[in-house]
Amino acid sequence: MQTVVTVLLGISVILGIPLIIYSNKRRSQPGAADFIWLAFTIMIVNGGYIGEINAGTMQAALFWSGVEHLALPLNPYFWLAMCLDYTRARHRKTIQKILLFFPVFYYFVFYTNDRFHLYIIKYDFVSNGYFSVLVSEKGPAFLVIMLVITAIGITCMALYFRGYLRSARIYRTSYLLMILASALPWAAVYFNIYNATFLRIDYYSLMMVATAVLYLLGLFRYSIFSTMPIATETVYRLSEDAIALMDGNGRITDVNDAFLRQYPEMSRLTAKSTVDAFCAHHNEFRGLSPETPELHFHLSSGGSTRYYSAKLTGIFSENGIHAGNILQVKDITVFMEYQNRLRQLAEQATERADTNELSFLQAQISPHFINNTLGAISSLITRDDEAAKNLVVDLSEYLIHCYRIGNASPMDSLKHELEAVNTYIKIIKVRFGGRICYAERVEVPMDMILPRLVLQPLVENAVRHGVQSKKDGGTVRLSTVGKDGYACFEISDDGVGIKLERIQNLLSGKDDKQGVGMINIHRRLIKYYGEGLHIQSGNGTVITFRIPLTQTGKKAFT
């Protein structure tokens, strides 16, 4: 029997090592840091008890009891600290500081026991028929300590139970494990008070074996230190998106408040509440499956129409086990309205450009670019709301710069033209990321006047037919310097280059399909300044032109 108890206690000490290592890797998660200290104190307590039950004399047994009590006062403290952090209890830091009185009091009464006998009145070293154990007559301070431990145990279980009730069902097993792991050692304390244990063995230490197994199961099977309870409440419960959780069998186990507002019949979930049954009652979800995890739909009610996107995402544990799925329904009405307005704006501007003095701008505006950007907005809506909003704003600015409806002047300031360039670059970088780099150097007055939509189409041309055609992308540079009374512009790229024959065709107007309004820009520059674009190409392309620098910027235009 002595060997059996020693082996069981030894197992708890050995299990403490992987528990500490595993938790240390996740020490930033709620409760993990305090659990490391808790596991360490358990290892010391159980290691000391192994020595106590194998001691041959009372003096040796008391020595090992002293080893146990090096960590025993800290055990309940870290237990509650872990619970407070794991459940994200309010004022947890303040409570932890106040609770420090417990280990201080415990150490005091234990190490002054020889003088005051407040903790243990007397010890006996008796045989239980198998081996000798310490038996003690408890003092008043011992009972006070047990009352505090009782309060700590009840508090922990209450907080875990509160978390259990407020958490999504998929996470509730973790809370049940925490409740059980807190209840076992707390209950063992009362058997020890009355020396009513089998063979007079300290059940507290033995319960640590069961507790270690529970935590081992919780850590490696249910990942109790990789899910933030606070995230469940704020992201899941309070999310504006409608979210439903399903287990591995397709049964809907929980829904958040937004889902209930949209589908109130899901307030009562039963064993028949499966995703297949739900989709059968709501035709808009038909076709949604792990093979087709995304779809868009619209619902009309009371004369208005709202647009939605639905996405099915698998839930996998750290060891790759499929635990279930998440159904997320997002209201994308605002984005669809933005997209429709932008399309209308583009159509209206194009129609107006055909009938007024701004018709020359039509050659510079790429419908493919607008459509591709609208497509990028649609794809971002379900992945990154903020990025989609920013892209909508950028595209709006781009259209305003390009069309400038209500302003019939063919001229604009360098400042406004550079704003159009930078807005275009921002949009391109959202679509192509780090493949496109842009550098700008301006050394002339920002209020100088130049023809509208010269710079942006040239930069766009460098991107589309220069660096974008390269596998690894490249860099586009725009520089403007003053020289001999002229503002000299240079747009260069390190892209694939243009053949000489193509350059000649572009400037003659024979081949403008691959250049964004190149002939249009070339002719307008010749009209205003007597000379147009100069193009050189090899390893990349360099386009230059110059505009006279005058005080007002208008002398050369009249």
Q: What is the pLDDT of residues 427-437, one digit of tens each?
A: 888 888 788 99
Answer yes or no: is pLDDT of 260 > 50: yes
Closest CA to 436 of 461, 472, 393: 472
320 vs 331, residue with greater confidence: 331
Return the minimum-mean-pLDDT range out of 67-76, 135-144, 208-217, 248-257. 208-217
Domains of the chain from N-terminus onward? 2-230 (1.20.1070.10), 239-331 (3.30.450.20), 332-408 (no CATH), 440-558 (3.30.565.10)
pLDDT band at 307 (very low <50, low <70, confident <90, very high): very high
Q: Are 48 and 64 in contact (CB under 8 A)?
A: yes
Cα dihedral 24, 76, 31, 157 sign: positive
Answer yes or no: is pLDDT of 360 > 70: no
Query: What per-residue confidence (pLDDT) applies to 361?
Result: 47
pLDDT band at 404 (very low <50, low <70, confident <90, very high): low
C-alpha distances in angstroms, 485 versus 4, 411, 455, 488, 517? 99, 19, 20, 9, 27
Residue 307: what are its φ and ψ, rounded to 5°?
-110, 145
63 vs 220, residue with greater confidence: 63
Q: Is 254 helix (H, G, I), strand (E, B) or coil?
A: strand
Distance CA 45, CA 339 (A): 66
Distance CA 378, CA 392 (A): 10
pTM: 0.46
270 vs 38, residue with greater confidence: 38
Residue 31: what are its φ and ψ, rounded to 5°?
85, -20
The string of pLDDT tens digits covering residues 454-497 is 998 899 889 988 888 888 889 999 999 999 999 999 999 998 88
Distance CA 107, CA 145 (A): 11
User: What is the edge-to-edge ordering of all strands in the sheet holding 540-548?
Assistant: 436-442, 474-483, 486-493, 540-548, 534-538
C-alpha distances in angstroms, 312 versus 233, 244, 246? 20, 10, 10
Q: Are 67 and 44 in contact (CB under 8 A)?
A: yes
Closest CA to 518 of 462, 441, 470, 474: 462
Return the minimum-mean-pLDDT range out of 303-307, 350-354, 432-436. 350-354
Question: For 74, what's the count of Cα atoms within 13 Å in the CB-facing half-sphere?
Answer: 17
Closest CA to 414 of 456, 372, 373: 456
Q: Are 468 and 432 in contact (CB under 8 A)?
A: yes
Q: Which helix (H) or strand (E) holds 173?
A: helix 172-193
Distance CA 266, CA 259 (A): 8
Answer yes or no: is pLDDT of 143 > 70: yes
Q: Percentage of residues in the chain with pLDDT exceeding 90?
A: 27
137 vs 225, residue with greater confidence: 137
Q: Is 123 helix (H, G, I), strand (E, B) or coil?
A: strand
Cα dihedral 463, 466, 468, 474 sign: negative
Q: Is 166 helix (H, G, I), strand (E, B) or coil?
A: helix
C-alpha distances in angstroms, 13 versus 144, 192, 253, 379? 28, 21, 38, 53
Which residues, including other chains, have CB under 8 Å from residue 352's CB and lie 6 or more apart? Answer: 358, 403, 405
Answer yes or no: is pLDDT of 353 > 60: no
Distance CA 14, CA 208 (A): 12
Distance, first Cα to last Cα, the chain: 109
pLDDT band at 86 (very low <50, low <70, confident <90, very high): confident
Distance CA 453, CA 444 (A): 18
Cα angle, residue 84 at apex, residues 82 and 90 outer, rounded to 5°:
160
Return the minimum-mean-pLDDT range out of 212-226, 414-428, 534-548. 212-226
The string of pLDDT tens digits covering residues 149-170 is 889 989 999 988 887 876 666 6
Q: Where are the alpha helices (DSSP H) in 90-171?
A: 92-99, 101-111, 113-116, 140-166
The string of pLDDT tens digits covering residues 10-31 is 888 888 888 888 888 877 777 8
Instruction: Indicate the average pLDDT of the chain.
Output: 82
Return the minimum-mean-pLDDT range out of 66-80, 406-420, 436-450. 406-420
The string of pLDDT tens digits covering residues 176-233 is 888 888 888 777 777 766 656 676 777 777 787 777 778 767 655 666 665 444 555 5
Distance CA 202, CA 196 (A): 10
Distance CA 121, CA 139 (A): 5
Q: Are 437 and 472 in contact (CB under 8 A)?
A: no
Task: State CA 80 to chain mean position distance.
Answer: 29
Q: Are 307 and 287 in contact (CB under 8 A)?
A: no
Query: What per-residue confidence (pLDDT) applies to 329?
Result: 93
Tokens of 279: 């989709």
Task: Scan for tokens 């230059």, then name that residue.
Answer: 544
Mean pLDDT computed over 292-320:
85
Query: What per-residue confidence (pLDDT) applies to 554?
Result: 42
Tokens of 213: 């197994």
DSSP type of residue 466: I
